[in-house]
Amino acid sequence: RGLVRGLLGELLGCDPRAVPFAYLPSGKPFVDAPGAPHFNLTHTDGVAVLAVANRRVGVDVERVRTVLNAAGLVKRYFSHAECAAFAALDEAVRPAAFFRGWTCKEAVVKAAGATVSCLAEFDVCL
């Protein structure tokens, strides 16, 4: 968080401690100042991604790993078209496809300031 404050403070021309953060109802932080940049941060397993833009932005990063119930998660959180696409994939590429879909969906949700309850309402490419 200190790095985020430092970067945003530099962009805003203010002390990092003075960056005016506020929070959406979803809990997503934003800079509450006219003309302030939008940002999003994600991290996992020693990898961090910070995006800063002049419009809403979302990022997500995950380590591709075995997920015991990937098909169940796809059925619960992915759209009908994504479920069909996932089922049609060769078993060997499903883990990578799951994480590609998941991270893309998470990034969209983060950019929108929404929650995971809307994941099945839009399609991404697996």
Percentage with pLDDT > 70 across the chain: 100
What does pTM read for this prediction? 0.83
Q: What is the Cα–Cα distance from 6 to 66, expressed in whole angstroms?
A: 36
User: How much is the pLDDT for 28?
Assistant: 83
C-alpha distances (whole Å) from 25 to each of 36, 90, 107 are 19, 40, 17
Tokens of 46: 């020693």
How does pLDDT run across 51-67, given as a tens digit for each residue? 999 999 999 999 988 88
How does pLDDT run across 14-73, given as a tens digit for each residue? 999 999 999 988 788 899 999 899 999 999 999 999 999 999 999 999 998 888 999 999
User: How much is the pLDDT for 122?
Assistant: 95
Q: Identify whether the C-beta of residue 55 lies closer than 8 Å to the C-beta of residue 92.
A: no
Count, residues in the chain: 126
Q: Identify whether the C-beta of residue 103 lies closer than 8 Å to the C-beta of residue 109.
A: no
Residue 95 pLDDT > 90: yes
Residues 99-125 as b or e (16 or more Cβ within 10 Å = b) = bbbbbbbbbbbbbebbeeeebbeeebe
